[in-house]
Amino acid sequence: MSTGSVDPAVSKRSKGFLIKIWHAINIPLAAVVLALLIGAIILLVSGANPIQAYVALFRGAFGSMTALGRTLEKATPLVFSGLAVAFAFKAGLFNIGAQGQLLFGAMIAAAIGFGIDGLPSIIHVPLALLGGALAGALYGAIPGALKVYTGAHEVITTIMLNYIAINITDYLASGPLKDTSSGNVLARTPEIMASAKIPSIANIPLGFVLAILMSILIWWILSRTTLGFDIRTVGLNPNAARYAGIKVAFTIILTMVLSGALAGMGGAVETQGVVGRFQPGFNIGLGFDGITIALLGKTSPLGVIPAAILIGAMKAGASQMQFDAGVAKEIVDVIQALMLFFVAADVIVRKVFRIRAAGEEEKITLSTGWGQQ
Amino acid sequence: MSETLALEVRNITKRFPGVLANDRVNFALKKGEIHALLGENGAGKSTLMNVIYGLYSPDEGEFFVDGQPAEIHNPHDAISAGIGMVHQHFMLVPVFSVAENIILGSEVTRATKLDLRTARREIRELSQQYGLDVDPRAIVEELPVGIQQRVEIVKALYRKAKILVLDEPTAVLTPQEVEGLFRVMRQLTERGVSIIFITHKLKEVLAVSDSITVMRRGQVVGTTTPAETDENGLAEMMVGREVLLEVEKGPAQPKEIVLEVKDLSVYDERQVEVVRQVSFDVRAGEILGIAGVQGNGQTELAEALTGLRAVLSGTIHLNGVVVPFENPRALTEAGVSHIPEDRQKHGLVLPYSIADNLVLSSYYKKPYAQNGRRNFQAVLGNSVELVEQFDVRTPGPQVPAGNLSGGNQQKVIVARELSRPVKLLIANQPTRGLDVGSIEYIHKQIIKERDAGAAVLLISAELDEIKSLADRIAVMFHGEIVAVVPVDAVSKSDLGLLMAGSELKKEPESVG
Ligand SMILES: Nc1ncnc2c1ncn2[C@@H]1O[C@H](COP(=O)(O)OP(=O)(O)OP(=O)(O)O)[C@@H](O)[C@H]1O
Ligand SMILES: [Mg+2]
Position B111 scores a pLDDT of 52
CB atoms within 10 A of CB B502: 12
Measured in residues, chain B has a length of 512
The beta-carbon neighbor of B398 closest among A8, A227, A239 is A8
**What is the mean pLDDT of the segment spanning B4-19?**
91
pLDDT tens readout for residues A90-125: 999 999 999 999 999 999 999 999 999 889 999 999
pLDDT tens readout for residues A17-61: 777 777 778 888 888 889 999 999 998 898 888 898 899 999 989
Q: Does position B166 have pLDDT exceeding 70, yes or no?
A: yes
Q: Which residues of B152-168 are buried (b: 16+ CB within 10 A; e: fewer)?
A: bbbbbbbbebbbbbbbb
Is the beta carbon of B45 within 6 A of some atom in ligand 1?
Answer: yes
Query: What is the DSSP code string of A145-206?
Result: HHHHHH---HHHHHHHHHHHHHHHHHHHHHTTT---STT--SS-PPPPPGGG---EETTEEH
Residue A185 banded pLDDT, cuts 50, 70, 90: confident
Position A157 scores a pLDDT of 95
What part of A 218-247 touches B (C-beta under 8 Å)?
Answer: 224-227, 229, 233, 236-237, 239-246
Q: Give me the domains of chain B, ranges plus CATH numbers.
A: 5-239 (3.40.50.300), 245-335+421-512 (3.40.50.300), 347-419 (no CATH)
Average pLDDT, chain A: 87
Q: Do A9 and B332 touch (CB under 8 A)?
A: no
Give nearest CA residue, ligand 1 atom 31: B404
Residue B2 banded pLDDT, cuts 50, 70, 90: very low
Our CA-based measurement puts residue B316 at a distance from the nearest CA of chain A, in whole angstroms, of 18
Task: Collect all residues of chain B within an 8 Å Cβ-Cβ radius of residue A360.
Answer: 350-351, 400, 402-403
CA closest to A358 among chain B residues: B351
pLDDT tens readout for residues B277-307: 999 999 999 999 999 887 788 989 999 999 8
Position B287 scores a pLDDT of 96
Q: Do B375 and A1 touch (CB under 8 A)?
A: yes
Residue B406 banded pLDDT, cuts 50, 70, 90: confident
Is the beta carbon of B306 within 6 A of some atom in ligand 1?
Answer: no
What part of A 10-39 touches B (C-beta under 8 Å)?
Answer: 12
Q: Does position A308 have pLDDT exceeding 90, yes or no?
A: yes
Q: Is the peptide bond before B251 cis (omega within 30 degrees of 0)?
A: no
Query: What is the DSSP code string of A274-304?
Result: IISS--TTSSTTHHHHHHHHHHHTTT-TTTH
**A47-327 maps to which CATH number?**
1.10.3470
Give nearest CA residue, ligand 1 atom 25: B41
Our CA-based measurement puts residue B385 at a distance from the nearest CA of chain A, in whole angstroms, of 15
Q: Which residues of A139-159 are buried (b: 16+ CB within 10 A; e: fewer)?
A: bbbbbbbbbbeeeebbbebbe
Is the beta carbon of B259 within 6 A of some atom in ligand 1?
Answer: no
The beta-carbon neighbor of A229 closest among B329, B363, B400 is B363
Query: Which of the residues A221, A224, A226, A246 would you substitute to probe the B interface, choosing the one with the greatest number of B C-beta atoms within 10 Å?
Result: A226
More confident residue, B296 or A308: A308
User: Do residues A140 and A97 lie in contact, with contact meaning Cβ atoms separated by under 8 Å?
Assistant: yes
Query: What is the DSSP code string of B91-115?
Result: ---TTSBHHHHHHTTTHHHH-SS--
ipTM: 0.85
Residue B16 CA: which ligand is closest? 1
Q: Does position B52 have pLDDT exceeding 70, yes or no?
A: yes
In 3-state terms, what secondary structure has residue B61?
Answer: strand
- Provide, rounded to the nearest whole percent, the portion of chain B with pLDDT above 70: 96
CA closest to B347 among chain A residues: A240
**What is the mean pLDDT of the segment spanning A289-318?**
92
**What is the mean pLDDT of the segment spanning B40-54?**
93
Domain limits of chain A? 47-327
pTM: 0.87
Position A361 scores a pLDDT of 41
Residue B7 banded pLDDT, cuts 50, 70, 90: very high
Q: Do B349 and A360 touch (CB under 8 A)?
A: no
Closest alpha carbon to B26 in B76, B1, B60: B60
Our CA-based measurement puts residue B350 at a distance from the nearest CA of chain A, in whole angstroms, of 8
Q: Does position A1 have pLDDT exceeding 70, yes or no?
A: no
Q: Does position A367 have pLDDT exceeding 50, yes or no?
A: no
User: Do residues A87 and A259 lie in contact, with contact meaning Cβ atoms separated by under 8 Å?
Assistant: yes
Which of B12, B41, B47, B198 most suits a substitution to test ligand 1, by most atoms within 8 Å of the C-beta?
A: B47
Lowest-pLDDT choice from A334-348, B294-308, B473-487: A334-348
Position B26 scores a pLDDT of 95
How far is B462 from B478, CA to CA, in rounded Å?
A: 18
